[in-house]
């Protein structure tokens, strides 16, 4: 019977990670397991930065953004030498299984440990929403709400000065944050990596909108396409739209998680413990059609997350 599990977060932080850590720890303690937190991801695992957790360790953490276990990039874990050093620490602390919260890179590390005989379950903790086989990732909803709030504020000054704001948002190579926030924020145009765009056509729509009385506009740009200043420069070649470029940057990763992220992270965290208790590893937890699911991590590496492009079409239909 398994007696001890570990928890680590890896890669970029995401709101809701603490809710997931809390759920894993409390579900495991409820099942009679000992729980160990691992600071600084795989780097902390190799360094032995590991401590025993109890109910109070994760108390008053569900509402906090970021990750109480900290995070760090550690590409050395891709090599077997790094993995074996991590396993030495797992053996030292008697940890028999892991829950790894992070994105694609984190899943690679979790799979390697499973292959070495230490079952690991991955939870999708990333604001980018770019993990296959899950409709949503932990932190995505909070990030979208943060962007929408920023768009609402920018619209006030855009309207006051009759300007066009190009708002660049995070998402790495995925356009989900831009897509969802653009629709929710009533953007004039949304530029994402998953859909082609034509700068001249965008300029024509802006001119047409102005002729119809809409003197200001918001354009949401995914960082995976180009920088906001670069896009504004290309657009300005087709007319004077009083352009201003705004890069929201890492503010999108911070803040208290929404209720949706807290609930989903809690569900996923408890489910991960259930899978480990069943002796399973090498699986990634997700949510599809509002139901918890798990898929082999190997499947995720061969698949690609698909953006909900019907939202793009909707945004085009609803813009001037």
68 appears as a binding residue in the annotation: no
Counting Cα atoms < 13 Å in the Cβ hemisphere of 181 gives 34
SS3 250: helix
242: number of Cβ within 10 Å: 15
Shared fold status for 4-139+257-302 and 141-254: yes
Q: How far apart are CA 72 and CA 74, in angstroms?
A: 6
What are the residues facing 189 on neighbouring strands? Answer: 219
SS3 24: helix
Q: Domain extents for the chain?
A: 4-139+257-302, 141-254
Determine whether 81 is exposed, middle or buried from the number of CB atoms within 10 Å of its CB (0-12, 13-18, 19+): exposed
CA dihedral (277, 279, 281, 287) positive or negative: negative
73 appears as a binding residue in the annotation: yes
Range 4-139+257-302 has CATH code 3.40.50.720: no
- Give the per-residue pLDDT at 72: 87
Residue of 99, 148, 150, 11 whose CA lies nearest to 284: 99
C-alpha pair distances (Å), 163 with each of 144, 157, 210, 242, 244? 23, 8, 11, 5, 7
Residue of 161, 202, 200, 211 whose CA lies nearest to 182: 202
155 appears as a binding residue in the annotation: yes
Determine whether 310 is exposed, middle or buried from the number of CB atoms within 10 Å of its CB (0-12, 13-18, 19+): exposed
In this structure, are residues 227 and 147 in contact, taking their beta carbons and an 8 Å threshold? Answer: no
Among residues 13, 49, 128, 141, the one annotated as catalytic is 128
163 appears as a binding residue in the annotation: yes
112 appears as a binding residue in the annotation: no
Counting Cα atoms < 13 Å in the Cβ hemisphere of 276 gives 34
Per-residue pLDDT of the chain (320 residues; tens, 9 = 90+): 899 999 999 999 999 999 999 999 999 999 999 999 999 999 999 999 999 999 999 999 999 999 999 998 888 999 999 999 999 999 999 999 999 999 988 999 999 999 999 999 999 999 999 999 999 999 999 999 999 999 999 999 999 999 999 999 999 999 999 999 999 999 999 999 999 999 999 999 999 999 999 999 999 999 999 999 999 999 999 999 999 999 999 999 999 999 999 999 999 999 999 999 999 999 999 999 999 999 999 999 989 999 999 999 999 999 87
- Give the per-residue pLDDT at 244: 97
| Token pair recorded at residue 294 | 């798990």
Instruction: Read off the DSSP letter of residue 126.
Output: -
74 appears as a binding residue in the annotation: yes
Instruction: Please state the φ and ψ torsions of residue 208, each to the nearest 5 degrees.
Output: -65, -40
Active site residue 60: no
Helices (H) and strands (E) in the chain, counts: 11, 11
How long a stretch of residues is the chain?
320
104-115 vs 80-93: helix axis angle to the nearest 10? Answer: 70
250 appears as a binding residue in the annotation: yes
Provide CATH code, domain 141-254: 3.40.50.460
25 appears as a binding residue in the annotation: yes
Whole-prediction pTM: 0.96
- Rounded to the nearest 5 degrees, what angle is found at the Cα of 227, between the Cα atoms of 210 and 73? 145
């Amino acid at each position: 019977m398994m007696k001890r599990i570990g928890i680590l977060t890896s890669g970029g932080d995401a709101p809701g990670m603490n809710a997931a850590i809390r759920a894993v720890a409390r579900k495991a303690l409820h099942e009679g397991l000992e729980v160990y937190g691992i600071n600084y991801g795989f780097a902390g695992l190799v360094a032995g930065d590991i401590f025993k957790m109890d109910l109070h360790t994760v108390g008053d953490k569900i509402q906090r953004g970021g990750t109480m276990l900290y995070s760090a990039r550690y590409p050395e874990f891709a090599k077997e030498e790094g993995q074996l050093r991590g396993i030495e620490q797992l053996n030292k602390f008697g940890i028999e299984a892991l829950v790894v919260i992070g994105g694609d890179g984190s899943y690679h590390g979790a799979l390697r440990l499973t292959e070495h005989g230490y079952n690991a379950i991955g939870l999708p903790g990333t604001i980018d929403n770019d993990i296959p086989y899950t409709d949503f990732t932990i932190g995505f909803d909070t990030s979208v709400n943060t962007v929408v709030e920023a768009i609402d504020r920018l619209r006030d000054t855009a309207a006051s000065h009759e300007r066009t704001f190009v708002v660049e948002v995070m998402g790495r190579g995925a356009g989900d944050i831009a897509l969802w926030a653009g629709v929710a924020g009533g953007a004039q145009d949304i530029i994402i990596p998953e859909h082609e765009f034509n700068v001249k056509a965008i300029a024509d729509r802006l001119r047409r909108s102005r002729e119809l009385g809409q003197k200001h506009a918001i354009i949401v740009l995914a960082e995976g396409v180009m920088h906001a200043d670069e896009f504004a420069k290309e657009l300005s070649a087709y007319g004077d739209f009083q352009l201003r470029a705004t890069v929201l940057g890492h503010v999108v990763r911070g803040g208290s998680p929404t209720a949706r992220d807290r609930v989903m992270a809690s569900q996923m965290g408890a489910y991960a413990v259930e899978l480990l208790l069943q002796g399973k590893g090498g699986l990634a937890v997700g949510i599809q059609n509002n139901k918890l699911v798990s898929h082999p991590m190997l499947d995720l590496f061969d698949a690609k997350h698909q953006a909900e492009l019907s939202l793009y079409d909707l945004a085009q239909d609803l813009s001037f």
